[in-house]
Structure 1
Amino acid sequence: MTTPTTTTMAAKTIAITGGARGIGYQTAKELIRRGHRVAIGDVDETRAKEAADELGVTVVTRLDVTDPDSFRAFLDMVEKQLGPLDVLINNAGIMPTGHAHEEDDAVTRRQVEINVLGVIFGTKLALQRMLPRRTGHIINTASLAGELAVPGLATYCGTKFAVIGFTEAARQEYRKSGVQLSTVRPTFTNTELVSGTAGAKGLRNAEPQEIARATADLIERPRPFVRVTRFAGGMVAAMKFVPGRVAAGLGSALGTDSVFLDDVDMGARQAYLDRIRNN
């Protein structure tokens, strides 16, 4: 169980999707450490309950973010047991790898449903609760792959580009409402999502604790977005001003044109792929 610590910010009621593992789990842990009231939902009910026991979370349930009724029930539970929703973190997401033309249609659909529709459904449901109160914060977990395309992740990149575009449009739409909307844009992070991959040459993956801290800081000091790590984020921002031929050459030098294609250890990745297909 995580031991809470006090912060200068008043405790908030925070709901996290995909909270059973990885970035979602570490974000819950960090927010509890800072004294907030946290609820987690995850499609893997067994692991979600285990995570809740480890974290000392009392509000936990199976959540299918692709089902608006499931999402609505989750938020109803949160508000009934913890009070009005202050922050929703739309964290749930999946990342299969491979050549686009070989990707099974069911896998393509699953990515779009979880990574895009789940975020849109959650954002809408949270807005419906927050707008009448003129306060609240919705944080959507995107990716630096939503700004810079990566071979082997075509559908995933497309979904994260969509998350960034949707959130930015909604942020501008509701900029005078009192409700904040933000994106967290991690580099590749050492969770199950990157199992069986080696990462780019000379660039380290982030740790989920880093993303958790950045998300918690974003709640305390709202901004439109935050990139993590600082170095990877700066590199992605700079690449937007680099000619395409130079960018392609740099990608080859770093190995990013093969790290999610020919260089993937599918045996090491199989357990993750089985889980995301079966849940």
Structure 2
Amino acid sequence: MAKKHLLAPATVVAITGGARGIGYATASALLERGARVAIGDIDGELARASADELGSRCAGFDLEVTDRKSFAAFLDAAAARFGPIDILVNNAGIMPLGEFAEEPDELTRRIIEVNLHGVLLGTKLAIARMKPRAGGHIINISSAVGRVALAGAATYSATKYAIVGLTEATRSELRGTGVEVSCVLPMITRTELGAGLSDVRGQRTVSPEEVAKAVVATIAAPRFEVWVPASGRRLYVLMSVLPKRWAEAISRFVGAADVLAAPDTTARGEYEKRARGQR
């Protein structure tokens, strides 16, 4: 069987957390390339409304990424609508901010369940579907704080570090099977998740569309790790080779040390309520 080029027209893509933000922008970018896209979201009504906006080659479904039955049902429904899944974008995630010692245990569990367990489940389910077909691509949306942790989001950073490790391990396990695994690490992105965050000197915020463009490029030329913007990786490499106390001093000087620890709580109010399950 000839291997399907993953940017060919009629490529089937499933995106978690696809009703808004990076997920929505990624769906839009892939639809422009001729893909057929299923977006899953905990807010199923919004997922269906977003899919209606995006057109007939997009469908929206309810999805609770922490529940195996729900995730499997999402992938099965997407396959029934469009055909076998070629690409899974594990995008769903939450970032409630605050001091770690004051973080309620139930919130810690929620962040881990959504951000990490959801990606673990999705990856397992995707491998089970892709490996027998000897082709596919799993793209995990991590974060710059999956490489450089910052105060104010300790649990979030821990989950994003774990996603990088998961991507590296599964990429190694799947070598030679035809299934690719990649991770994308955006800097601060102009979405609701990034609301109320200050700028970092020398670094710019990015748009969801820029992250979506990076996802498309990663599908076209698979690789392990993609930073958005690319300059973020150069900064990470520099900080990695410096003595820790120097790197921490630079972080404080450019404002990175406090970007998550001192957000505009008013601007983040609505997002924080939703991320914490306070609907």
TM-score range, shorter chain: over 0.9
Partners of 1:118 and 1:44 in 2: CA distance: 15
Quote the sequence identity (%): 46
* Secondary structure, counterpart of 1:39 in structure 2: strand
Q: Which residue is 1:72 aligned to? A: 72
Q: Which residue is 1:55 aligned to? A: 54
Deviation digits for residues 132-170 of structure 1 (CA, Å, limit 9, x no counterpart)? 111111011111111111111111110000000011101
Mapped contact 2:135–2:177 kept (Cα < 8 A):
yes
Mapped contact 1:9–1:220 kept (Cα < 8 A):
no
Q: CA deviation at 1:47?
A: 1.6
Q: Which residue is 1:4 aligned to? A: none
Partners of 1:98 and 1:145 in 2: CA distance: 15
Partners of 1:233 and 1:208 in 2: CA distance: 18
Mapped contact 2:146–2:164 kept (Cα < 8 A):
yes
Mapped contact 2:7–2:220 kept (Cα < 8 A):
no
Mapped contact 2:7–2:33 kept (Cα < 8 A):
no
TM-score (norm: length of structure 1): 0.94
Deviation digits for residues 11-56 of structure 1 (CA, Å, limit 9, x no counterpart)? 3100000000100000000000111111100001222122111111
Q: CA deviation at 1:244?
A: 0.4
Q: Structure 1: which 4+ aligned runs deviate by more than 4 Å?
A: none
Q: Which residue is 1:3 aligned to? A: none
Q: Which residue is 1:9 aligned to? A: 8
Q: Which residue is 2:32 aligned to? A: 33
Shifted more, 216-225 versus 13-22: the winner is: 216-225
Superposed, which structure 2 residues align to 1:53-132 within 5 Å?
Answer: 53-56=52-55, 57-132=57-132
TM-score (norm: length of structure 2): 0.94
Question: Match of 1:103, as an amino acid?
Answer: E
Question: Match of 1:32, as an amino acid?
Answer: L
Q: Which residue is 1:142 aligned to? A: 142
Q: Which residue is 2:275 aligned to? A: 276
Mapped contact 2:9–2:33 kept (Cα < 8 A):
no
Matched, 1:220 2:220: yes
Q: Which residue is 2:159 aligned to? A: 159
Deviation digits for residues 80-127 of structure 1 (CA, Å, limit 9, x no counterpart)? 110111000000011111111111212111110011000000000000
Partners of 2:255 and 2:61 in 1: CA distance: 40
Mapped contact 2:7–2:35 kept (Cα < 8 A):
no
Q: Which residue is 1:232 aligned to? A: 232
Partners of 2:143 and 2:190 in 1: CA distance: 13
* Secondary structure, counterpart of 1:94 in structure 2: coil
Q: Which runs of 5+ in 2 are unaligned?
A: 1-5
Deviation digits for residues 212-231 of structure 1 (CA, Å, limit 9, x no counterpart)? 00001111111112111011
* Secondary structure, counterpart of 1:192 in structure 2: coil
Partners of 2:260 and 2:149 in 1: CA distance: 12
Question: Match of 2:35, as an amino acid?
Answer: H
Mapped contact 1:96–1:273 kept (Cα < 8 A):
yes
Q: CA deviation at 1:58?
A: 4.1
Q: CA deviation at 1:198?
A: 1.2
Partners of 1:260 and 1:218 in 2: CA distance: 28
Q: Which residue is 2:181 aligned to? A: 181
Q: Which residue is 1:19 aligned to? A: 18
Q: Which residue is 2:192 aligned to? A: 192
Partners of 2:98 and 2:215 in 1: CA distance: 29
Question: Match of 1:44, as an amino acid?
Answer: D
Q: CA deviation at 1:267?
A: 1.5
Partners of 2:240 and 2:87 in 1: CA distance: 31
Q: How many residues align?
A: 272
Mapped contact 1:151–1:256 kept (Cα < 8 A):
no
Q: Which runs of 5+ in 1 are unaligned?
A: 1-6
Partners of 1:220 and 1:88 in 2: CA distance: 14
Question: Match of 2:233, as an amino acid?
Answer: G
Q: Which residue is 1:44 aligned to? A: 43
Partners of 1:249 and 1:16 in 2: CA distance: 38
